[in-house]
Structure formats: structure tokens, C-alpha cells
Amino acid sequence: MLTTLPSPRQLPSQRQVKLSVKFSGLMLATSLFSGCVTLSEFTGSADSFTMSADDSEEMNTVNTAMNTVETLYQRGNKQDLAYYAPSNFELALNKREKLLNMYEDYTPNGGSWFSSSGSEDIEAESALFVLRMNKAFQAKVITKPLLTIMRDHDEFIQTIDVDGFETIFDKLRNSTTQFAGLIESRGTGLGLEHQKIKLERDYNSLEIDMIKRKVLRFPTSEFNLLDQELVPESYNKALNGLYSLERLIEKDPRDNPAIQQQLTDSNIKIKQAESIGKEVMWVKSRIETSAERVVINYRDHLSSLNSYLGTEELTALDFQSQVSGIKAAMAAKISQQDKDKVLKEEKLQRQLAELGRLLTGQDMSRYSISQQVDSLIFAVRSLVDESLDIPLAQR
């Protein structure tokens, strides 16, 4: 069913045509200049004229038909018919292009606004376009459930900014279009289950490969700079970190928080191996001249920490014992700080309770510090308010 819609003369390069019965003198002059009308076709005064009823009706018919075409076309675009019903939508697009050409080249015969044959051609062709679009919408009902997973992958892949996969993606897209065309022609997806499964698997593999490339490119290039022979243990830890990251991506390439956390851990292992390698080279360059000097240098790293903690006696012990002693001293220092903090809070709480007793006459020692402060603020505010109520001469 065709309905009256906004004027299709808004289409590109098409002259504007008014649907009202009366035209202004300016519009008449413009139309005369373009060669579209003559004065003999209208009746009335020089500044007001009337189009014949037949011409007006024919004009409305053509405009309504073209507006319907454009509205359906826009609706089809919004509903992604090019993806879900590629065959029928392509045929509809061909008819739309034909209609646009007919509408663009549409000229009156014998000086009339529209020729009867031209309007009939446009109306007939637009009816075929509507029929084809209806088939496309009906096809989408069948194809969409079968293409949902592929479409989800398709949209996610387009958000990944990775070069080098364009050809693979375009090929997979073309295969999906052919698959949707088969469903359209058959009117069902029966017998196409194997193609559906293969497409879903190929999309998932492509998604994983793209995420791997994006996430692993930098840490892998850093890892390749490590010397396995120099730091074999640290090298293997870094390698296992990369393997774990790769397995995580294969499990769920969209689990970005988990991937980012594992990527951070992997980068730390690689940086650790790199720094350890530098220290190993430093040790090897000195071990031949003085092994004792290497040991002394490492023990010196703990000297300032022992001085800060007051544990200078630990310097007489071996390296591992010093580390254990420093850990114990740090724990004791932190514990003492916690105790001092508790004592300060208890003292403050007693002082606030005493102040509250003086101001309010109430025992607030069982309240927390924040509760006591709130009560004191309220008490002081009440006292101030009361003093303001007393006449100045009585204060």
C-alpha cells in the first residue's frame, strides 16, 4: 500500500516540484525559464494560477511512488539487508538505480507536466521494487538466526585495528554473502549446517589470530632479544608467560581485563630476564679477577637498609640470613607503628570524651572518634545558637 510521503524531488540533481495547487509568481518565472511549462497550461490571474486536476493527481502518484522507494531503501540499509539478504537487496538496488534514472530523465510530452506513459512506467517499476524489498525483508527472517554468530564476529573484527588481515577478512565476508544467498534461494538453511559451522570456526580463528597479533607483537619482539644461554631459567619463565598469554587469548579473545593482566605479568617476566641478564654479564666480567669482590658488592646492597633498621649486627651473617633478618625487622617495625597508631587513637578518644563530658555532661567514651566529633560539633553549635537568642544586654 502506497502512502503520501515527503517530496522525492529532494533526490540528488532532481528539480524541485511543488505539490500544492497554487504556485507563486516567482516559481512560475523559474519554471518558464527552465522550459517546463507555458502560460497556456494554467488559468487564473498573472500572479496566481491553477494546475489541472489530472496533472496534479499524476504528479502526486509519481512523487508518492518515488518517496516509497526511498523510504524502503533507507529502512533496508538500517536493517543491514546487504548482509542478511544480499541477493534480493542487490536486485532491489538495481531497480532503485533504474527508477532514479527514469525520474531524473522524466520530461513532459507535448508541453504537459507529465506524460501518462512515463508516470505509469515509474509506478510499475516502483511496485516491482517494493515487491523485491518485501522478499529481502522476508529473507532476513530466515537468514538472521543462521548468520547471528558470523555477524557478531564480523562487527567485533572491524573494531580491531590490525593490518595484514584485510584479504582474509574480505574472503570470509564473500563466503558469508554466498552462504546467505544460498539460504535465500532455498528459503531454508537445511543442508547447509556444515557451511555454517565452518564459517563460524573460520571467523573465530581469524578473531583469535588478529588479537594475538595485536597483543603479542611487542612482547614477542622484546622476548626475542633475550639470550637463552645467558639466562636460561629466566628465559623459560618469560617463555611460559607468553605461552600462558597465548592460551588465554585462544580461550576467549574478548576477555580484555584478563588478557591485559596476563600481558602485564608477561612483560614483567621479560623485563626481569633482561635485567638479570645484565647482572649476569656484570658478574661474569668480574668473577675471573675477584669472586670475593662480587660477594662483597652484593652484601653492600643491604648495608643502607640495615643502617635504617638498626640491624647492623646482621652484616656479619651470610646474604640469605641477612635478608631473613631484614624481613623480620621490617615486620617488627611495621607492627610497632601499628601499635603507636592505636595508642594515639585511644589517647585522642579519651580527650574527646572528656571534652564531651564538660560540654554536654554525657559519657561519650564508648563512642568512636568520628561519633564523638559529630556530637561535639552539635553541642558547640547548640551553645552558639542559645547565646545568640540571649539579648545583648544580658550576655
From first to last of its 395 residues, the chain has per-residue pLDDT tens of: 333 333 444 443 333 333 332 233 323 333 333 333 333 443 444 444 455 666 677 777 888 889 999 999 999 999 999 999 999 999 999 999 999 888 877 654 433 444 444 678 888 999 999 999 999 999 999 999 999 999 999 999 999 999 999 999 999 999 999 999 999 999 999 999 999 999 999 999 999 999 999 999 999 999 999 999 999 999 999 999 999 999 999 999 999 999 999 999 999 999 999 999 998 998 888 876 678 888 888 888 888 888 888 888 998 888 889 889 989 988 888 888 888 888 888 888 888 788 877 777 778 777 888 887 878 777 777 766 666 555 545 54
Residue with cell 543491514: 80
Question: Which sign does the torsion angle of CA 280, 286, 291, 294 carry?
Answer: negative
CB 182 within 8 A of CB 146: no
CB-count exposure of residue 151 (10 Å: 0-12, 13-18, 19+): middle
Grid look-up 641477612 returns: 322
Is there a contact between 255 and 248 (Cβ–Cβ < 8 Å)?
yes
Q: Alpha-carbon dihedral of residues 283, 284, 290, 293, nearest 10 degrees?
A: 0
Q: 168-172 — which CB contacts under 8 Å span 24+ positions?
A: 168/206, 169/206, 172/199, 172/202, 172/203, 172/206
Break the chain into its structural domains and give their ranges. Answer: 8-205, 303-394
Distance CA 58, CA 54 (A): 6
